[in-house]
Amino acid sequence: MISLLCITMISLALAGSAYCQTATPASFISVKTDLGGNVTLPCRLQAEQTFFYGSLKVTWIKVGEDQSQNEDVLVSLGLHKRTYGNFENRAFLLDLEKGDASLVLLDVSMEDMGRYRCEIMDGMEDIIQDVILEVENGLIGGVVFPYSPHRGRYNLNFDEAVRSCESQDAIIASFDQLLKAWKGGLDWCNAGWLNDGTVQYPITKPRQPCGGVNSRPGLRNYGLRNKQMSRFDVFCFVSLLKGYFYWLVQPERLSFDEAVQACRDDDAEIAKVGQMYAAWKLEGYDRCDAGWLADGSVRYPISRPRKNCSPTEAAVRFVGFPDKKVKSYGVYCFKAAK
């Protein structure tokens, strides 16, 4: 009787110990990456641990403030793998056949930041590993640019502003990114949305239409605005050029539709505004030819100021949104990285 009681107590103790191990990982690892980059979150079986590949179950979750806020990322059992939600087509296991269940995340966003939990179950000894992912906001190696659509200034509510940046291969900028851009010399008198729902604009050269000649340089802040009713421009941010941006040499000037087709004929697509800014800022792209972009605007990037080509400053020059039927411009194309 005593022996049976002892066996029962030991069994319960072992079960409780296993439960605690599953609920509370013994340690965590911190990993940093840049916005828009790829990252590997480490998790693997111990070197001396033997296993049968087909029996391994791997689960990755993003841990919320409480259990109800946990997000499924990836589940793998033998040959069957599934990713979930925003992680579809972006999450992969590194090399599970060798016991490496590290999670590879592609095209990391600020929303990916947080705590991730890896659980490897092989029927013998479970592995539980927490990884803290920190995403750098890309203040170094990125560029903030103001954007307004073809219909003119101050026409975007907050949701439209977010979509406008995304449509130009960028994201809506943060306060820190705009502040860094202002310190780097960005001067723009049109107010634009930021990702926190505030509306601001950067002034390095005070003047009458932009807060007055006696005002100090800085970020002019309109504060939080109604995201649906208020309408402004937007400040966008791009940190990576994920492909090849180039001027397409053509014997004649093109209409907008002809420009789109010319890029397609070159196995590319017409370039977006964010791609031009990234090429100009991050790669020093310089071309004194005005060309069509995907939003119907005409612009050209100058990194070496000179006569007739932005003589006073390096800048992406904006010509406007001309009639798409006119044949007065060339075209900038973009080939995505493979």
pLDDT for the residue 313: 87
pLDDT for the residue 2: 40
CA distance 185 to 317: 16
pLDDT tens digit at each of 338 positions of the chain? 344 434 333 343 333 333 333 344 556 788 988 766 788 999 988 765 555 556 788 999 999 878 888 999 999 987 789 999 989 988 999 887 777 889 999 878 777 888 999 998 876 677 899 999 987 655 456 899 999 999 889 999 999 999 999 999 999 999 999 998 998 889 999 999 999 999 999 999 899 888 888 888 999 999 999 999 999 999 999 988 889 999 999 999 999 999 999 999 999 999 999 999 999 998 899 999 999 999 999 999 999 999 889 988 899 999 999 999 999 999 999 999 87
Instruction: Please name the residue ranges forming H helices in the chain.
Output: 2-23, 158-167, 175-183, 256-265, 273-283
Which pairing describes strands 218-224 and 192-193: parallel, antiparallel, or unpaired?
unpaired
DSSP string, 69-90: G-EEEEEEETTEEEE-GGGTTT
213: number of CA atoms within 13 Å, CB side?
1
pLDDT for the residue 242: 87
Q: Where in the chain is the domain with CATH 3.10.100.10?
A: 143-238, 243-336
112: nearest Cα among 132, 129, 130, 92: 132
Judge contact between 321 and 150, C-beta under 8 A.
yes
pLDDT for the residue 292: 98
Q: Check: CATH 3.40.190.10 for 243-336?
A: no
Handedness of CA 46, 47, 50, 56 (dihedral sign): positive
**Protein fold of 143-238:** Mannose-Binding Protein A; Chain A (3.10.100)
Judge contact between 119 and 16, C-beta under 8 A.
no
36: nearest Cα among 200, 247, 181, 243: 243
The DSSP bridge partners found for residue 105 are 39, 91
pTM, two decimal places: 0.62
CA distance 114 to 61: 11
Q: Considering the domain delimited by 25-136, tell me its CATH architecture.
A: Sandwich (2.60)
Tokens matching residue 209:
């239409």
Q: Where in the chain is the domain with CATH 2.60.40.10?
A: 25-136
